Amino acid sequence: MTRIGHGGDVYAAARELGRDLHRVIDFSASINPLGPSPAAVRTLRAAEAWLGHYPDPACWALRQALAAYWDRPSEEFLVGNGSTELIHLLPRALGIKHLMLIGPTFSEYAEAMTRSGGQVSMLLANRADGYRPPLETVRAALKQRRQPASDAPAIGAVLLCNPNSPTGQACEAEAVRTLARLAARRGLWCIVDESFAEYADHASILSEPLPARTIVLRSFTKFYGLPGLRVGYAMAKPAVIAGIAAQQPPWSVNMLAQRTAVAALQDVRHAGRSLHFMERERARFRTALTRLPGCTVFPSAANFLLMELPVGQKSTAVVAALRRKGLLIRDCSQVPGLNARSMRVAVRSRADNDRLLRALSVLLRGGGA
């Protein structure tokens, strides 16, 4: 399987371009454009006292904060070194040999299955539907336990990213719960990655008790703006959490990440500002992108936008040209279910977004690389 690179590698870009790191503008990683909460920053600056001790292996304070935030028992939470660590723990911990993915979607899910020796099948959304996840088709496939070959292991789990990356589409919570309940009745796991769900409250299934055999993943990277600290969490029934935790390396999450995440979670004021900014700026930015000649921009419930370049343009070439200008964009041309003109751009500050719009306008009007 060809590994699809992640965004966010500003270090390699800075070295390649001979630029200071802070002169590279990263649209390839979808991080809160307002940055981390002031409370989180203050907590991080006061972190010296924690450096002389091992991290708390139980992540007790953060799990208590999550339990209070969601009004759930702390035993329903497992904190990980980013949600990516948890994604890689799940196949082994849950005994998944064959995962059904709803695509186009994040490449790390398939990578985790490959590393664990498992298999992946994928049901793809249609471009004509705006890449709306085909949950009706997924439910029908689960009822039939459909698989691509007779010698393949039976499907053991279904995974939905909601809102989905890189398409930005979000399914309503009740439709996701219906899928999760069906999976449980069939003896399957249902994994729902809600890493962008802070931007789409209506999509989250966490407002009600989780169905059996359901695992929800969340992240402090995107909405909370803490990608450098690597902290995420899983929610599930206590027995499921205990089984996943048994596969986790000790001291997986450092103490700076644990304490800063608590402060970020509790800063309700910054969360409100972040949501208000994203609603306004995402709409403005999308409208401006759609005015570029020949471009198609899909609706999004997250803090990024999936777009297609005009016919005749290739995202690989445009991404490379923008990179030379210090603007990093996520090339999605290799994502199964998308096409050679597909790119994903983060919604950043108004000034950054306007700079990208100017650069794209020049390129698409024949201004050269």
Is residue 262 domain-shared with residue 311, that is, in the same domain?
Answer: no
CB 363 within 8 Å of CB 292:
no
Cα-flanking dihedrals φ and ψ of residue 330, to 5°? -85, 115
CB 201 within 8 Å of CB 70:
no
Is residue 18 domain-shared with residue 54, that is, in the same domain?
Answer: no
Is residue 143 domain-shared with residue 155, that is, in the same domain?
Answer: yes
How far is the CA of 42 from the CAs of 47, 50, 261, 362, in angstroms?
9, 14, 12, 41
Specify if 4 maps to a domain. Answer: no
Question: The CATH number of the domain where 336 resides is what?
Answer: 3.90.1150.10
Specify if 233 maps to a domain. Answer: yes
Contacts 24+ apart (CB under 8 A), 133-140: 133/102, 133/160, 133/162, 133/164, 133/169, 133/171, 134/102, 135/102, 135/160, 135/171, 135/175, 135/176, 135/178, 135/179, 138/100, 138/102, 138/179, 139/178, 139/179, 139/182
CB 262 within 8 Å of CB 36:
no
Query: Domain ends where: 266, 290, 305?
Result: 266
Is residue 144 domain-shared with residue 230, that is, in the same domain?
Answer: yes
The amino acid at 334: Q
Is residue 208 domain-shared with residue 76, that is, in the same domain?
Answer: yes
Mean pLDDT of the chain: 94
Is residue 288 domain-shared with residue 333, that is, in the same domain?
Answer: yes
Question: Residue 2's CB: how many other CB atoms inside 10 A?
Answer: 6
Is residue 252 domain-shared with residue 335, that is, in the same domain?
Answer: no
Is residue 255 domain-shared with residue 306, that is, in the same domain?
Answer: no
Distance between CA atoms of 130 and 329, rounded to whole angstroms? 21
Q: Residue 351 has what pLDDT?
A: 98
Is residue 193 domain-shared with residue 125, that is, in the same domain?
Answer: yes
Cα-flanking dihedrals φ and ψ of residue 86, to 5°? -65, -40
Q: Residue 149 has what pLDDT?
A: 53
CB 138 within 8 Å of CB 129:
no
Instruction: Express each pLDDT in 10-69 by its tens digit.
Output: 888 889 988 988 899 999 999 999 999 999 999 999 988 899 999 999 999 999 999 999
Cis peptide bond upstream of 227, omega within 30: no
Q: Residue 368 has what pLDDT?
A: 53
Question: The CATH number of the domain where 208 resides is what?
Answer: 3.40.640.10
Q: Residue 146 has what pLDDT?
A: 52
The number of folded domains in the chain is 2
CB 341 within 8 Å of CB 309:
yes
Is residue 206 domain-shared with residue 247, that is, in the same domain?
Answer: yes
Is residue 246 domain-shared with residue 99, that is, in the same domain?
Answer: yes
Instruction: Express each pLDDT in 263-273 by its tens digit.
Output: 999 999 999 99
List the beta strands (DSSP E) in 214-361: 214-219, 232-235, 296-297, 304-308, 327-328, 330-331, 342-346
Q: Residue 145 has what pLDDT?
A: 64
Query: Domain ends where: 233, 266, 299?
Result: 266
**What residues make up the domain containing 323?**
10-30+269-364
Specify if 369 maps to a domain. Answer: no
CB 213 within 8 Å of CB 189:
yes
Series of mean pLDDT values for 10-residue runs along the chain (369 residues): 62 89 93 97 92 95 98 98 97 96 97 96 95 95 67 89 98 97 97 98 96 97 97 98 96 97 98 98 98 96 98 96 96 96 98 98 78
